[in-house]
Structure 1
Amino acid sequence: MASHDSYFLPHKAIWPIVGSIGLTTLLAGFANFLNGAAIGPMMMWLGAAIMITMLVGWFGTVIKESVAGWYSHQVEISFRWGMIWFIISEVFFFAAFFGALYYTRVLAIPWMGDEDSITNEFLWKSFESAWPTNGPGAIGGHFEPMGAWGIPALNTLILLSSGVTVTWAHWGLLANKRSQLIQGLIATVALGFLFVVLQAFEYHEAYTEMGLTLGSGIYGSTFFMLTGFHGLHVTIGAIMLTVVLLRSARGHFSPEHHFAFEAAAWYWHFVDVVWLGLFIFVYWL
């Protein structure tokens, strides 16, 4: 148990090794699935089940220890730094994909379409520098680019609104207004899952009506990699906020001690900012 002048020493936990086994099984299953092995899907489901069990068990242990008052101020500081570094790693994760989009649009395509370049002269004589593109020789097939208005614009409004509702919930927590906290979290979670549902409709339209797939050249691959990973992060963030909502309903947080709420809110605001970049550079420009 921690005190104000000591650091909490956890008991011997099994969850790290369980997580390692689950992740290894999941990746091995995915590799087998890609190579056509019949055991691949079963290994993937088993690995996913182990990972979910690990997450529920590990986070449940941390929640119980926190509610029991075992964590000192020093432990809370370490939690904060851990979350900060995690979000920084996510920033660089998305920076890599935005960098690929920048390289493609600003450098590679103009170079391949330059009539004075050797590449254009000997490899892709008829290639024109234009965006969006399905690549030299139209290798990605015919497709329609995804417009900015419609579902993307609506999803932008939804995520911006969710940033307001989670901030309103935070104000309620700081003011010890439990009803405002819970109402704000309910609105945020609902908006988050609504975003995911609308994105699923967008993907369905892209594949079935617009011919826009992962195989639609460099435009299709960058579009789905950026929006798909962002949609995954929105889903994870909405699940995190759902857990925070359930804990809030049980009275777990106080105006002085509520790092779990802050961590989820930080993550949600990060997701909002990334979407603004996506809307501007992937959909609009």
Structure 2
Amino acid sequence: MNVENGVHDAHYFVPSPSRWPAVGAVALFFLGLGAALSLNQVSLGTWSLLLGFAILIWMLFGWFGDVVKESNAGQYGQQVDYSFRWGMSWFIFSEVMFFAAFFGALFYTRVISVPELGFFSDTQSMLWPGFTANWPMATGPSIDAYHVMGAMGLPALNTAILLTSGLTLTWAHWGLMQNKRQQLSLGLGITVLLGSLFLCLQAYEYRHAWNELHLTLGSGAYGATFYMLTGFHGMHVLVGTIILAVMWFRVQKGHFTPQAHFGFEAAIWYWHFVDVVWLLLFILVYWL
């Protein structure tokens, strides 16, 4: 493969054989084994899970580390850049479909199931005295009374935090494009702190909902959809915060240039996706 001024020609970069896929398979084996043993209350399951997570973290650091070294060495050409962009685009599309399924379940419950149950009011009065076809409901058959989560307070504050984090991340991106490293580092660091603050406040919100509002996973369709949607979103915020933290450490090492920074750009795409999902959650789960 010919290289001129550090840029590859039209030939595609083929990496050397890697051990990391096999290491990942071993990690998944121990994770699956540990989950199965833990469900059957076998004490060895916990150790298997810990071993699986440890191997998985080692694989992620090693595999992504190799990619970073290859990128910094100038081994990636334009075709590899296109592949990375297409790969990240399809990954985010799969995440869109992931959340679309959960939002679809919420839509079906609110717009179709509950009104249809209200249509058969005579039958429902036998199964559930006092049933009204309203969403969200405050109780149900064999379900303790609970309070729904309002939009004001912590949810509104978390919305402001995530929107602000999107602005600080964009400001950091502008700093990179203008080769202002201090602005890049500061904006990225603030974004990581805002993401961490969001997670802390959501953990406090869960504690409040569970202990004081008596809103649990067993609180009917409302409790199930609430924790399913907000919980999976929180997991994505955690992953995004970790990714951005890794980007911040890479910035401290002098990585990324205005011309070559797709690793950072991919993290920006992911974070903005997380922001958009939260706005939908705030409107459809907390507000309406």
Output the TM-score relative to the length of structure 2. Answer: 0.94
Give 5+ residue unaligned stretches, structure 2.
Answer: none
SS in 2 for 1:271: helix
Q: 2:201 matched to which residue of 1?
A: 198
- 244, 250, 254: which is aligned to 1:241? 244
Select which of 111, 115, 126 maps to 1:110.
115
Aligned to 1:173: 176
Alpha-carbon shift at residue 134 of structure 1 (Å) = 5.9
Looking at structure 2, the residues matched to 129 and 244 of structure 1 have their Cα atoms a distance apart, in angstroms, of 49
Q: What CA distance in whole angstroms lies between the structure 2 residues aligned with 1:197 and 1:204?
A: 11
- Tell me the alpha carbon deviations over residues 134-176 of structure 1, each in whole angstroms, 9 at most, x when there is no partner: 6641x33121111111110000000000000000111111111
Select the residue among 36, 42, 45 that pairs with 1:37: 42
Let me know the Cα RMSD of the aligned residues.
Answer: 1.6
Does structure 1 residue 259 correspond to structure 2 residue 252? no
Alignment of 1:96-175 (within 5 A): 96-115=101-120, 120=124, 123-124=127-128, 126-133=130-137, 136-137=140-141, 139-175=142-178
Whether contact under 8 Å (1:170, 1:181) holds in the other structure is yes
- Tell me which moved more, 28-37 or 105-114: 28-37
Instruction: Please give the secondary structure, in 2, of the residue aligned with 1:69.
Output: coil
Counterparts of 1:3-14 in structure 2, within 5 Å, are 3-14=8-19
Residue aligning to 1:16: 21
What pairs up with 1:198-217 in 2 under 5 angstroms? 198-217=201-220
Which is worse superposed, 158-167 or 46-55? 46-55
1:84 aligns with 2:98: no
Q: Does the 8 Å contact 2:147/2:215 carry over to 1? A: yes
Which of 240-249 and 274-283 deviates more?
240-249
Rounded to whole Å, the distance in 2 between the matches of 1:111 and 1:12 is 58
Give, as a single letter, the amino acid of the residue that structure 1 aligns with 2:38: F
Q: State the AA in 2 paired with 1:159.
A: L
Match of 1:74 in 2: 79
Q: What is the match of residue 272 of structure 1?
A: 275
Q: Secondary structure at the match of 1:95?
A: helix
Matched-pair contact (CA < 8 Å) for 2:125–2:131: no
Q: How many residues align?
A: 283
CA contact (8 A) 1:135 1:218 kept: no
CA distance in 2, matches of 1:279, 1:245: 29
- The percent identity for this pair of structures is 57
Q: Structure 1, unaligned stretches of length 5 or more?
A: none
